[in-house]
Amino acid sequence: MIERWDDTAPGVLKLPSGRLVRGRGLRRPLPEGPAPMFAVYLLGRPAPPVEWDARWLRWPDFRLPSDREEARRLLGEAWARAATERVEVACGGGVGRTGTALACLAVLDGVPGDEAVGYVRAGYHRRAVETPWQRRFVRAFAAGSGTAA
């Protein structure tokens, strides 16, 4: 059996389905405990190499993903894999882009779009999803377009 994330560990968000996803900032040291099995890194430039399966989504700081369709695909993969694997989502600081991605995962897990930001702020980080356009992106993601600017 695969060791899951500790649902009380810092950065671990428990989704309504019971899936656990870890959010973090890449500028901080790797947390103790098991390594991710799959990760999505939200950065303006390619992510550094890691020993686990990882994808890079071009997403500049304080902005939105450069390719909204790719964002939907990768976040969908992260959500699906979180059912059976340790999944991590991370950006540089671990708050804005990571919080936005976690809110989108919450939407995929059944949280209404207008509640997803609050859900992530309550369960992950109180300042998650930093900008108005990131909040709009989550609502658009919930509506199925993910194309809000």
Please state the rounded mean pLDDT for residues 67-75: 96
What's the pLDDT at 141? 95
What does the domain layout of the chain look like in residue ranges? 12-143
Confidence at 148, pLDDT banded by 50, 70, 90: very low
* For residue 111, pLDDT beyond 90: yes
**Counting beta carbons within 10 angstroms of the beta carbon of residue 80, is it exposed (0 to 12), middle (13 to 18) or buried (19 or more)?**
middle
Which one-letter DSSP state was computed for residue 7? Answer: T
Summarised one tens digit per residue, pLDDT across range 22-69 is 999 999 999 999 999 999 999 999 998 999 999 999 999 989 999 999
Write down the pLDDT at residue 2. Answer: 82
- Is it the case that residue 138 has pLDDT exceeding 80? yes
Q: What is the pLDDT of residue 62?
A: 85
Instruction: Please state the rounded mean pLDDT for residues 8-24.
Output: 97
Q: Report the SS3 class of residue 35.
A: coil
Instruction: Name the band, by pLDDT with cuts 50, 70 and 90, for residue 149.
Output: very low
Question: For residue 95, is pLDDT > 90?
Answer: yes
**Roughly what angle, to the nearest 10 degrees, separates helices 132-143 and 96-108?**
20
State the DSSP code for 77.
Answer: H
The residue-averaged pLDDT of 69-81 equals 97
- Alpha carbon separation from 108 to 16, 95, 116 (Å, rounded): 10, 19, 10
CA 8, distance to chain mean position in Å, is 17
Superfamily, domain 12-143: Protein tyrosine phosphatase superfamily (3.90.190.10)
Rounded Cα distance, 145 and 51, in Å:
33
Residue 147 has pLDDT above 80, yes or no: no
- Residue 145's pLDDT is 55
